[in-house]
Amino acid sequence: MQKLDQLTSALKVLGAICLAGMMALTCVDVVGRYFGHPIFGSVEIVGFLATLAVALALPYTHKERGHIGVEILVRLFSKKTQAIIELVTHSVSLALFTVVTWRMALYARTMQKSGEVSMNLEFPEAIIIYVTAFCFLMFALMILQDIVKSISYLKKG
């Protein structure tokens, strides 16, 4: 579990780097446009970095419980009922994101085989999709970790 947390933290740092890269590239591109020298492909690069920033931050956001949740009603229930609701919610989420991860990996493979590249820079888009699929896998593993915690809590209580 500690290795998963370390990997999640490393992905978070990479996501922050992508976010900072988006900011820096946009600033340099705007200044360059002012002087008549825009950066070729900056829109594509910013799009790729935005995708990576979101995907890389996903597992850490789940770990920190940063996603939007409707807990107003659930807070009124007993701790055991809350754990059961969490277990069911996480189980459904795990099933969904396992399928999403699998389909995204297949999609990346299809894009790789077809040789699909971005319009201006001709960057292989499959790389971005593979990284995103990996991030979804880490997200699914974080959900699985929460399921194990919920089950152990229910066994104790």
Mean pLDDT of 1-24: 94
pTM, full prediction: 0.90
**First-to-last C-alpha distance (Å) of the chain:** 23
Average pLDDT over residues 23-43: 95
Q: CA-CA distance, 157 to 120, in Å (whole number)?
A: 58
Q: Name the average pLDDT for the chain.
A: 94
At 67-125, the pLDDT tens digits run 777 778 888 899 899 899 999 999 999 999 999 999 999 999 999 999 999 999 999 99
Q: How far apart are CA 75 and CA 126, in angstroms?
A: 43
For range 49-78, the mean pLDDT: 89
Residue 156 and residue 81 in contact, taking contact as beta carbons nearer than 8 Å: no
pLDDT of residue 1: 73
Q: Which two tokens stand for residue 111?
A: 């894009």
Residue 157 has a pLDDT of: 66
